[in-house]
Structure 1
């Protein structure tokens, strides 16, 4: 949902502050501003409190101010205003807290620590249980906006905090909202979609909420899915209803009737069939442009209302497509299968990750074989991969620039980038889950790799989320070629002419990369490239493999993150496990260099024990495999 619309402040002080916030305030001036806000928020006059909330909203528009405002306790003072007798104060408080919660997960943690949940849950108990919008009420739009902002605040808190989900479950809020607030005729699309967005998050992995939703509103959710209306607001509702239904099954879509599965995938396909680039192009033609004096032209009256409706429509469409892609990504994830195979204290040999599932052994099931046939058939017949892939493409640069410059469309600009990131992550899952022939064969996967490579290495972007998801896709594409074709297909001749100059950009990218996740993806990726070349050994390919090996070894010595070091070592072990590589191993003195790295890995593993589970598995596997591999390779080289 969009940011809260701020009324024009009726205090001259706010106009002055707004100008000052364009530049960095001195520490003492900022402290004075914060103290003034605190004094205003704790006043008894409605105008004074409203002015304080408006100033707070302006202050937190600069991310560097957020930490200080939280430390000074502004949140503790603002949160109780959700229960203020004045509707305008409740609305402004809900808007500023919701905007604050949308900044980043760490901010949500701070909001939880400052007990935002108590007044928020009380708001629902006091103001929503019997409320219905009054058509002729002067405060209708304000009350509707307050409820939407509070639901979105609840959504953001629950998305970042298990404790928030627990508090929600212990309250009566879900009983108040369900199924009553799923009635579009009474509450309108905006409130219904906000409730569904919240449900989409809180139902996931929450058995108590799953049962509650099933018992109270399963019928309403099914009715929402069959609405005959292609307006973006209704497509968003249909998409969210489908997502909630899947989540009530614990994400196991296969337990649903076949006709419901096809109905859900059809909704996702229809949502993703709308050209988001075309919508953005049309929107960019409508937004005001900067004139000769570097000021934006302003729209008035009917023109302004038309633009507002267009912005809302595009925003709903992007939200619907993002949720559709997230649903598809979850459908194509094989995490559940991995979890069943790996107990909480599995041994190293049990936890070899996705690569083990896709190994070259004849008897090991491929990841793509784990997708239920009825779901696979629906995804393929409705060309879901092509539709998701289209979402990885941004509108033209000039369109994005226009959307970024106009204040009213900045959120659209941000949502387009978020959609691209989610689409890349979904492509990553789909590459693993779909049979290679439905991805255009090895040639098709190679084209994906090349196209994403242009995004990673040839386009300047400082969006680390996009870079991380894009490098994950490149890695998955090469994994698919290596594991599906065993690296020996004639089609793998695509890489036969790979030279050092071709991987120069990748090596430079790894050297300059500050993000461990991206570094890890790139290291694994060039390792897979080298492995593919092992089957096509000649003077050129041998030189490339040796260069990649020496580079990975060099990076391993510089690496601070133990799990990235483990990834680098695991990559080398994979590469040189082939007997054909003995001569190359001797040439780069692999055994001696790995023997130097072994104690470094072991020492870092002791120092960095607090790691996510998947990283612990990687480190543990590399630590146990490395000594065995060194002994094995040393024995082979001594006999050659």
Structure 2
């Protein structure tokens, strides 16, 4: 059956907004918004430095509200502001870089709109004119400002390239990738600069042959030096982890790296993930000032303020390093042919055959796709356990404290992102690590139950969390189903599963508004029913009937043709077993699928523009359905 591929862990390295507004410029004009936009435009085009700076500050304040962004883009303010990256005044360059970087974090489509307003031309010119030979001048009054401007521009470049293939193309045609490696020299530049550059390279090099070649030529020595830094303080761990990611992405193929390098990289990732993120966040919450009865917070001053700032930075660096480590591991463990670039998930799929990757004429288990030294390192360093630990958030009171204090809100957001990325990584690890090395059937079943609590027993509006969690639940059942090359005889772990537990899942599907999550859940309950087929009794038969009737009902209501195809595919998989003939007759499966077939065909005609992987799923389900109906009808006629 055709399957939907696993979603490759999307990058959540998009640099967060920075506060570059000053106290004096925090009031918007009293005029209407339209007049305010015109005023900003006039100020940006003025000759006076103060006028330009004031316009940038007002623009920065305006885009803090995402609702204002469409009007900002429509008035062409990016096209007016971006050339100020090349302004002679350091303060103007800094304000421009910070404002544009903040704007690029709003949404992917905003980056596309920025590209339409020719943002890449001044960004490229900034690096060509200001970065090719620049070294921070210790005696300069604007040293810190200039360093911040460079970092903001690097982060802006990262966001644009992460969102736009056109930005990647322009990057390859520029000299930027020849310039950036010089900033990895910690003897000349500080760690903040090196970290920003590494984060950018981590994104732009992946699946980009032009960038791979340039970085391999220009940065190989610097990356190896950073990889072997001594010490395990947060900054060093982040530098080493990002360097490991760039090295892997630069090579593009894990089999071309010497075994010793692969083992060294996995060891670094394991060390990064060994830091107890819950503990350091709990310790940080003890240092964060709390609000008084009136809701006011008295921020620390003097030495206490410096200590808190240092602690905040260290915790953020650890969480960033762990997120990067998890993304690297997820890409290492993606199911792919060895001759494809690392991170290419075009051969991935999500169930049934998902543990099997096609390689020419052979079908190879995903567990056998990793080089032995990589598998050995992952198992010996207990990487699965360490990634799983990242799916667990700190205590609720700790989260509330971090969320309420302005200085730690970014850490709160990073914790949620880390949890989501860890779940996506677990999804890949489940397909890769042999089941005996992750606790056997009982261990995987416990993962399924624990993740289910995130999806069904907590009120959450975090769509990314729900999607990644349901993907893990689906992968966990696949792991149980296809262990030992397809032996599904033991479903005893589900013997205590009550119909009420199933109903919670079914209700979750009914109210779900996200197609990807619906598809995961439909496939998951179908796999669950298939597991129960091997242990048929009155209770399990009743559960299978309830699941079947629910999927059929949902299929008739489903608007997305590819989700409907997933439902059809699930039912075909479930009832392909001959042991299900009696149950098929009980639910009138053939008649109901026969009535569903024309609805399915009609939706296929209506929804022709689909991503490639969905087209494969729809096509396969469409061709299988009539054959299956004919086959099952023949079998049921003999009952």
- Among candidates 50, 53, 58, match of residue 55 of structure 1: 58
CA distance in 1, matches of 2:338, 2:228: 31
How many residues matched?
620
Deviation at 1:2, TM superposition (A): 5.0
RMSD: 2.2
CA distance in 2, matches of 1:293, 1:36: 38
Residue 40 (structure 1) aligned with residue 43 (structure 2): yes
Residue 102 (structure 1) aligned with residue 85 (structure 2): no
Choose between structure 1 and 2: higher helix proportion.
1
Deviation at 1:48, TM superposition (A): 2.1
Residue 356 (structure 1) aligned with residue 353 (structure 2): yes
Deviation at 1:326, TM superposition (A): 0.3
CA distance in 2, matches of 1:503, 1:399: 33
- Among candidates 7, 10, 18, match of residue 4 of structure 1: 18
- Among candidates 190, 196, 199, match of residue 201 of structure 2: 199
Change (3 A) 1:337 1:408: same
CA distance in 2, matches of 1:334, 1:55: 48
After superposition, what is the alpha-carbon deviation per residue over 1:84-134, rounded to whole angstroms, capped at 9, x for unaligned?
Answer: 111111111111111111122111111111111001001111111111011
Counterpart contact for 2:17–2:105, Cα < 8 Å: no
What SS does structure 2 have at the residue aligned with 1:461? coil
- Among candidates 243, 246, 255, match of residue 244 of structure 1: 246
CA distance in 2, matches of 1:260, 1:519: 41
Residue 290 (structure 1) aligned with residue 291 (structure 2): yes
After superposition, what is the alpha-carbon deviation per residue over 1:286-317, rounded to whole angstroms, capped at 9, x for unaligned?
Answer: 22211122111122222222222222111111
Map 1:90-489 onto structure 2 (within 5 A): 90-178=93-181, 180-250=182-252, 252-336=253-337, 355-356=352-353, 358=355, 364-484=363-483
Change (3 A) 1:124 1:486: closer
After superposition, what is the alpha-carbon deviation per residue over 1:575-618, rounded to whole angstroms, capped at 9, x for unaligned?
Answer: 00000000111111111111111121122112212211111111
Point out which structure has higher relative CO (alpha carbons under 8 A, 6+ apart): 2
Change (3 A) 1:639 1:491: closer
Residue 84 (structure 1) aligned with residue 87 (structure 2): yes
What SS does structure 2 have at the residue aligned with 1:365? strand
The answer for the alignment partner of 1:29 in structure 2 is 32
Of stretches 30-39 and 73-82 in structure 1, the one that deviates more from structure 2 is: 30-39
Map 1:478-517 onto structure 2 (within 5 A): 478-484=477-483, 491-517=490-516
CA distance in 2, matches of 1:360, 1:230: 37
Counterpart contact for 1:516–1:561, Cα < 8 Å: yes
CA distance in 1, matches of 2:569, 2:110: 36
Which ranges in structure 1 are unaligned for 5 or more consecutive residues? Answer: 21-27
After superposition, what is the alpha-carbon deviation per residue over 1:303-351, rounded to whole angstroms, capped at 9, x for unaligned?
Answer: 22222222211111111111100000000001446979xxx9x9xxx99
What SS does structure 2 have at the residue aligned with 1:227? coil
Change (3 A) 1:418 1:397: same
Counterpart contact for 1:391–1:423, Cα < 8 Å: yes
Which ranges in structure 2 are unaligned for 5 or more consecutive residues? Answer: 1-14
The answer for the alignment partner of 1:25 in structure 2 is none
What SS does structure 1 have at the residue aligned with 2:634? helix
Counterpart contact for 2:356–2:366, Cα < 8 Å: no
The answer for the alignment partner of 1:23 in structure 2 is none
Change (3 A) 1:139 1:81: same
What's the TM-score, normalizing by structure 2?
0.93
After superposition, what is the alpha-carbon deviation per residue over 1:488-534, rounded to whole angstroms, capped at 9, x for unaligned?
Answer: 66652011233321111101100000000011111111111111111
CA distance in 2, matches of 1:460, 1:193: 36
What SS does structure 1 have at the residue aligned with 2:287? coil
Deviation at 1:622, TM superposition (A): 0.4
After superposition, what is the alpha-carbon deviation per residue over 1:144-193, rounded to whole angstroms, capped at 9, x for unaligned?
Answer: 00000000100111111111111011011111222x11101111101111
Of stretches 165-174 and 211-220 in structure 1, the one that deviates more from structure 2 is: 211-220
After superposition, what is the alpha-carbon deviation per residue over 1:457-501, rounded to whole angstroms, capped at 9, x for unaligned?
Answer: 111111100110000000000010011157866652011233321
CA distance in 1, matches of 2:244, 2:147: 24
